[in-house]
Structure 1
Amino acid sequence: MRVPSLRLPGRSPEGDPSEDRLVGTARLDRRTKRLCGRLEPGDIAIIDHVDLDRVAADTLVGTGVPVVVNASKSISGRYPNLGPEVLVKAGIVLIDGVGDEIFDRVREGRSVSVDIEAGAIYSGGDLIAEGAVQTAATVSADMEAAKEGLSIQLEAFAANTMEYLKRERDLLLDGVGVPDVKTSFNGRHALIVIRGYNYKEDIDVLRPYIREFKPVLVGVDGGADALLEAGYTPDMIVGDMDSVSDDALRCGAEIVVHAYADGRAPGMERMDKLGVPAIPFPAAATSEDIAMLMADEKGAELICAVGTHVTMVEFLDKGRGGMASTFLTRLRVGGKLVDAKGVSRLYRQDMSISALLLLIVSGLAAMATAVAISTVGRSFVDVIADWWDGLLFQIQRLFS
């Protein structure tokens, strides 16, 4: 699939290699999540992301970039990660393994051109990097080969899980370290939104549920912006504050900053600059995990999760040892935790045909009663009756 492109100035004759080049502004960052906040449609995204995960790929697709250049391998072979397939299906050109040197050879905001057939990147007419162009076929082959690494990754995941349990057993078992917050969860449902897998669709199908149950709305980092985009104001925002907008942080929600286990909280510096009060929560878990643990510890009756990890591949796709906390958190709050898709299936306001017919008959009966007891209604009925009698008389004359 060929993506829309801007051609180089002075278009070359048909067959010239520059015919297959795209031109755009280079935006580069070693942290994909941080880069996505700066990308504009038409930019060339340059990342350094081993085993590109699906959440990062979905975010890149949403920015409208036509090309993603990865200094590392998008599929290393450790496990079948989902990100490259997302990019290729969206029609984005993915050029893999161009090497770390590209970060020294390209400056932010510089115009670059990309040969989408050869996987070559040019700046000022000079070749600065080359890589492998990923296609649906190559991604499929790499994914199949990567399945062989699943057993090793599962063993590492299990080891990380045990290590995390030893470090954070007091938090997991007894809720030690959960800060006091003003937001009341006791006896209420909590809707925790992470800007992850299919979060927009999940929020949309949950609108009737939100309207009736009025759950506590918790946005995890960018999940706060997801709630605002959907027309809701979060009651609480939890996270390290690296992917949430200033507008969301100023919306009036209570802010809980995820800090490192040793107490360091870089996100508190941002809150101080904005002049927004915040509460630190030191923990080795992920931000989505501490949001769930907090809701559970503060007495939430049910926890509905949007955009979180559910399957084994999704756990591994996150690509870091910290996901061990996610597994254990789900064991802790499992009795209360429901995925958004499950809530949407259970909570349906479908009306049966018999109920619909009963509603129509009741409405007609109410109208008939109103007409019968009013003066104007009785006059109208008399007029209709005279008209009907006249019609019957005319019909009888035709056949007499």
Structure 2
Amino acid sequence: MAGTNRVYAAQLAGLPVFGPDGESIGKVRDVVAGLRLDQQPPRILGMVVELATRRRVFVPMLRVTSIEPNAVTLATGSVNMRHFHQRPNEVLVCGQLLDAHATLTGAETRVTVVDAAMEPTRTRDWVLAKLAVRERSTRLALGRRRAAMQVLPWNEVAGLGLTDLAGQPQGAGQLLMLFDTMRAVDVAATLRDLPIKRRHEVADAMDDERLADVIEELPEDDQKELLAYLAEERAADILEAMNPDDAADLLAELAPAEQSRLLELMEPEESAPVKRLLAYSSDTAGGLMTPEPVVLTPDATIAEALAHIRNAELPAALASMVFVCRPPTETPTGRFVGVVHFQRLLREPPAELVASAVDTDLTALRPEATLSEVTRYFAAYNLACGPVVDAEDHLLGAVTVDDVLDHLLPDDWRETGLHDVTDGADGADLEEAERA
């Protein structure tokens, strides 16, 4: 196998994976090792690779022809395309070993695993040969320097068996550093692959804003499980940080008593839009909408409108349209005037008023419109976003195409990915041989 002779797991995570002809396959998300009963280094069984469809599959190390600093290349052949599931004797190197607490063999020195290095053997196997560790100190003496990192052979570090990892509390600093470069949807997929204990440790270490973004991307059952794990006060804080429509969807799945309790713990200004959304059925325009679109008054300028939709935190679908209303501009607004499409904003002089560019002919949705009616509306007008108004022409919110697709897809689409494909017997047989 070409490439380097020592690869650190934290550097491997996120690398692009290419096929033998240079075609893009996906990205490395983790390394799978088989733990042993003796002190010998664990054998690297393969990698967890995330395909473009978000599906995570197991790729045996025998299929890896090279590992370079900027990419991993696979050999020609079949790979089992079933979704990756961790087996009892396996450990996820990034997901479970990083931040694990251990001791040095034959000593009382306590250390934390910072990284893990895999190296090839003469038999073409790869093993988890080295561990980068840092001494843990219970003292915070003034002027004390952070302990230096050591790279030690696997057999010089104790306390990393499966039972050890399952029982001990574990930090999440190194794992969160890996997550910093990943989208929330990719972090959510990684969390789903982790054992429950590790998932909870990561959730405890995340800040509220980041955890809220990740929970929005989890399947419904995982959302409820994680919310139930959190203390009520923090669960309410997470709901406040979520988009109101996503928070309403999650609360709608909870028991009435639990729903009421969490709404009471939320700040009134944060719970008010969520309560309004809960009044609508989830498969109507009112249940699908977000109450926080970009709303401006007619006397706002084109430059102001462009500044609003340039906001990096604004979802692309919401940035496609500015809603023009009479004051107040908080939903439900004053009288709805019309919309300005972002392409029109790009064509107008910055000093012009948005009133001069308003599209008053676009039909608005009513909050009671059914999912099928909303779907036909988006198809007919070729929109990414559409207004929802009440009988008195007050803007209540906006429906975005991604929320429509979310409700059109099967309930388990986040778990199975976009395709449920299983490769031929060769891929399955190879996986069984590698992971035996």
TM-score where L is the length of structure 1 = 0.21
Give the TM-score, by structure 2 length.
Answer: 0.20
Bigger Cα Rg? 1
* Structure with greater proportional strand content: 2
